[in-house]
Structure 1
Amino acid sequence: MTVYTGKDLRLADGLTVARLGYGAMQLPGSGVWGPPADHATALTVLRRAVELGVTHIDTSDFYGPHVANDLIREALHPYPADLVIATKVGVVRDEWHGFEAAAEPAQLREQVEENLARLGKDRLDLVYLRVGGDGLLYPSETPFTESFQALADLHRRGLIRHLGLSGVTTTQLDEARQIAPVVAVQNRYHIFDRSGADVLSACEAAGIAFVAYFPLAAGMLRPGLDLSQAPPGMAPSSEQLAALDETADRHSATRAQVALAWLLARSPVTLAIPGTSSPAHLEENLGAAGVGLTDDDIVALDKLA
C-alpha cells in the first residue's frame, strides 16, 4: 500500500520513489521511432535527471523500439540502488511505426525477457500491462485476465518485482487485484483531462499509486507550439492557457511547473512522469516541486478541465 512521505511515495515494501519522475518516451526520434536527434544530449538528460533526484524512470522496449532502454542502460548502468525503472509490455511496433497490441502470454514473456536484456537487469522493478482502455491504443484480443495472469506468473518466477497496469478501467483494476497485487496504475490524466478520475479515486481507496502519463498534455503547454497539430482532444483552449498563465505569473513559475504542481496536489497517491529530450525542460519540470500552490489556486485550476 502506498505511503506518502513528503516528496516521496512508498509504492510497496522496498519500493519508494520521488513523486516527480521522468518518462523516457521522448528520448527516441520523431514518432517515438529510431535513434535520438542528438545521442549525447539524450544521455545527458538521463544522467542529469538522476543527479537532480529522480528515482523513477518510466520506459518501454517499444519506445524506439529498443532505443529508450538502450539509452537508459548506456547512461546509467550500473544503476543507483534507489533507482526504480518501470517498463510496459503488451504492445509492439509494427512496420508502419504504429502501436499494436501484443498481449498473449508468450508475447508478454518475450517482451519481459527483451526488457531484461536491453536494460541489463536480472529482475524488472515494475512492469505495467499496457491495455489501452483509455482510448489511445487498441485493446488486445487476448482476454485481460489471461494477460495479467501471465505477468503474475513471471512475478512469481522472480523476473518481475512488482506489477502495474496502464490504460485500464476500474473493472480491470478489480479483476487484476484478484490475481496478484497491483502497486501502480498508469493512465492518462492532466490538468485539462480528468477522464481518469474514476480510476484515480479507485487507486486512492485501495492505496495504489496513480501515475499520470502525458502530465503536460502531450507537450501542449510549451509556449510557441502549434496547437493545431495536437492529438485529438489534447489542445487546450486560449481561455484555459490564460488561466494557467495567471496562476503561473503569481508564483513566478511556468505553465508546465504549475500543471505538475497541481497534479501532485490533486491526490497523495499521484506521481508524474514528464518526459523531455531537453536538459533545460528537464530542470524546469523538476522545479515544479518548489511551486507551493494555495488552496485558492487549486480550486481555480480544478475548473480548467
Structure 2
Amino acid sequence: MSESVSPPERTPEPSPGGTFPLGKHTVSRIGYGAIQLPRLRDPADAQRVLRRALDLGVNHFDTADFYGKSVANEYLAQTLPADDDVLVVTKVGALRTTRGPVPMRPGQRPEELRKSVQDNLRSLNTDRLALVNMRRMSPDGGFPVGHDQRVDFDDQIAEMVAMRDEGLIGDIGLSAVSLKEVQRALSVGIACVQNPYSLVARKDEPLLTLCERHGIAWAPYFPLGGALPGLAKVTHEPAVQAIAQTVGATPAQVGLAWLLHHAGNVLLIPGTSSVDHLEQNVAAGEVRLDEDALARLDKLKPAAGIRGFVNRFRRP
C-alpha cells in the first residue's frame, strides 16, 4: 500500500440528492459504492474517481475488505481525507473467493465477523469503523451455505453489539435480511439496511416502509436491476425510456431518480470505475419527476421478486 496523498483544496458541490441521517452522520443521498474500484490497476486512476466524487459533494462511500482483496479499501484509505464529514461504510459476513459464479463466500460465524472487522480496520488504516453492515447469508434465502455457516441471527447480532461496545465499530447495519430479522434487531439500534431493490424489484416494499418509519437508512444494491443473470433491467422498460427522453435524462438516471422520489430514507450507492459514469450517477439527483411521471413508473409491474440467480443474495 503506497503512502496516502492528501487531496487538493476543494470546494464541493451541494450534497447530491439532498441529505439523510446515516447512523451518527448526515450524508449525501447519492453516495459511491467501491465494488468496481479494484478494476483500476493504477492508484492514480482510482484517486481521480474518488476525488471527483468528493468534489461533487459525495460524502458516503460504501466498501468492503473483500472487494478486490482489500484493494478498494486501500484506495479509499489513500485518498479520502480523515474528516468527520466523510463517512466510509463497510460490511462483513462474506469472504472473497475466485471460484464459482459469485465472487464471495459466506463468512457468517461470529469469529469470522470479528476477523472481517479486523481486516477492514487494517486495510482502511483506522482504529474504528464508523458503520458496519452485517450481510446475512442463509439457506432459507437460497445462498449455498455449509452446515458450519448456518448461524443463528441472534448470535450474529450479539457479536456485532459486542464489537460496538468495545469501540471497534460505531453503528450497525444489516444486509440481505428479511422483515422479521430487522424487526428482531430493532431493539439494539440499526442504522442502515442494504437489500436488493429497484423500480422492477419491489418485493421488499414492506421492509422499506418499516425502515422509513423508524428512520433507518435504506441503501439498495442492484438499484437498476440487471446486475446478474435473472434480474430484470430498469433501463429496458419502455416507460422509463420514454420518460427519460421527456425529461432530458438517461434511463439509468430516471431509475435512480425514482428511488430518491419514492422514499425519503433511500440512499444510493451506485458503483463505477469511470469519472464520466460517476458524474452521470450524481446528476440523477437533479432529475425531477412530476406527478404524472411518478404515477406511470409506480404502475410498472415489478418482476416476480428478484428472479433466478439473485435469489442467492437475499432472504424471502
TM-score for both structures, normalised by structure 2: 0.83
Aligned-partner Cα distance in 2 for 1:218–1:159: 35
Give the CA RMSD over aligned residues: 2.0
1:184 has 2:192 as partner: yes
Shift of 1:37: 4.6
Shift of 1:171: 0.7
Distance 1:48 1:135, change over 3 A: farther
Match of 1:22 among 18, 28, 32: 32
1:9 alignment partner, SS class: strand
Distance 1:173 1:288, change over 3 A: same
Distance 1:300 1:41, change over 3 A: same
Aligned-partner Cα distance in 1 for 2:206–2:296: 21
Aligned-partner Cα distance in 2 for 1:137–1:99: 11
Shift of 1:110: 0.9
Distance 1:132 1:146, change over 3 A: same
Q: Which residue of 2 aligns with 1:279?
A: 275
Match of 1:64 among 64, 68, 84: 68
Letter in 2 for 1:231: P
The answer to whether the 8 Å contact 2:30/2:267 transfers is yes
1:153 has 2:153 as partner: no
1:182 alignment partner, SS class: coil
1:128 alignment partner, SS class: strand
The answer to whether the 8 Å contact 1:11/1:208 transfers is yes
Aligned-partner Cα distance in 2 for 1:47–1:291: 23
The answer to whether the 8 Å contact 1:262/1:293 transfers is yes
Shift of 1:136: 7.5
Query: Runs ≥4 in structure 1, deviation > 6 angstroms?
Result: none
Q: Which residue of 1 aligns with 2:95?
A: 92
The answer to whether the 8 Å contact 2:234/2:255 transfers is no
Q: Which residue of 2 aligns with 1:264?
A: 260
The percent of aligned pairs where both chains have the same amino acid is 40
Q: Which residue of 2 aligns with 1:227?
A: none
Deviations 1:201-233 (A, max 9, x none): 1112222111111212256xxxxxxxxxx5212
Greater relative CO, 1 or 2 (CA 8 Å, sep 6+): 2
Shift of 1:122: 1.7
Shift of 1:81: 2.5
TM-score for both structures, normalised by structure 1: 0.86
Relative to its length, the structure with more strand (as a share) is 1
Q: Which residue of 2 aligns with 1:232?
A: 230
Structure 1 alignment gaps of length 5 or more:
1-5, 30-35, 220-229
The answer to whether the 8 Å contact 2:199/2:234 transfers is no
Aligned-partner Cα distance in 2 for 1:236–1:157: 42
The answer to whether the 8 Å contact 1:185/1:208 transfers is yes
Deviations 1:163-213 (A, max 9, x none): 0000000111012223x1001101111121112212101112222111111
Distance 1:289 1:95, change over 3 A: closer
Aligned-partner Cα distance in 1 for 2:33–2:167: 25
Shift of 1:41: 2.1
Shift of 1:38: 4.7
Distance 1:136 1:71, change over 3 A: farther
Aligned-partner Cα distance in 1 for 2:142–2:235: 21
Structure 2 alignment gaps of length 5 or more:
1-16, 303-316
